[in-house]
Amino acid sequence: RTHTKIRSLANHCFDLRLRRPHKTQIAKRAIEVARKEGLGLEQQAAELLVESVGNDIRQVLNCLQMWNGGEKPNGQTATYMDVKKRLWQVNKDSILRLSPFDAATKILEARDPLSTRLDGFFVDYSLIPLMVQQNYIKALANSS
């Protein structure tokens, strides 16, 4: 809103603030969709599913679609343990949910295993090396 190019538009446009929906909101809608598709889903199971895919509504719907065509017959309820057993099929790679800033921080911290830090490079392989180069000295000073 404060940028000079946006200021002229701000007087003529509605300022709509968007927020990412909460885990419980997505879980509630997932239960509703699952029920309409003939698959029962417990509240805790839905929340676990939503949490494991990083609150990505599209991924939740894809999981429900895949699971409804799989082992569970129509009308049966997916419990918390059922979802927990099947998460390996749909779990998003947590490193892909990082921003370039978080990935650079993760690379420079020594707490994580080397393989995880190397994966951080691929979050944005054009920007991460520059960020690491810029902050390498600070990271060394902070670690000692």
The pLDDT of residue 43: 93
84-117 per-position pLDDT tens digit: 888 777 766 666 678 888 888 888 887 888 888 8
One domain, residues 71 and 104: no
What confidence category does residue 139 fall into, taking pLDDT thresholds of 50, 70 and 90?
Answer: confident
Instruction: Round the average pLDDT of the chain to a whole number and report it.
Output: 83
Residue 133 confidence (pLDDT) above 70: yes
Query: What's the pLDDT tens digit per position in 27-63?
Result: 999 999 998 888 889 999 999 999 888 888 998 998 8
Confidence at residue 29, expressed as pLDDT on a 0 to 100 scale: 95
Say if pTM beats, i.e. exceeds, 0.85. Answer: no
Kindly report the CATH number assigned to the domain that includes residue 81.
1.10.8
- Predicted confidence at residue 32, as pLDDT, reads 94
Mean pLDDT for the stretch of residues 57-80: 76
Q: Tell me, yes or no, whether 33 and 81 share the same domain.
A: yes
Using alpha carbons, list the distances in angstroms from residue 85 to 14, 26, 40, 90, 142. Answer: 45, 21, 16, 11, 41
Split into its structural domains, the chain has a count of: 2
Share of the chain above pLDDT 90, in %: 16
Query: Which token pair is 96?
Result: 């892909």
Burial bucket for residue 90 (CB in 10 Å: 0-12, 13-18, 19+) = middle
Q: Mean pLDDT, to the nearest integer, of 51-80?
A: 78
The answer on 78 and 108 residing in a single domain is: no
- Which residue range(s) make up the domain with 116? 95-143
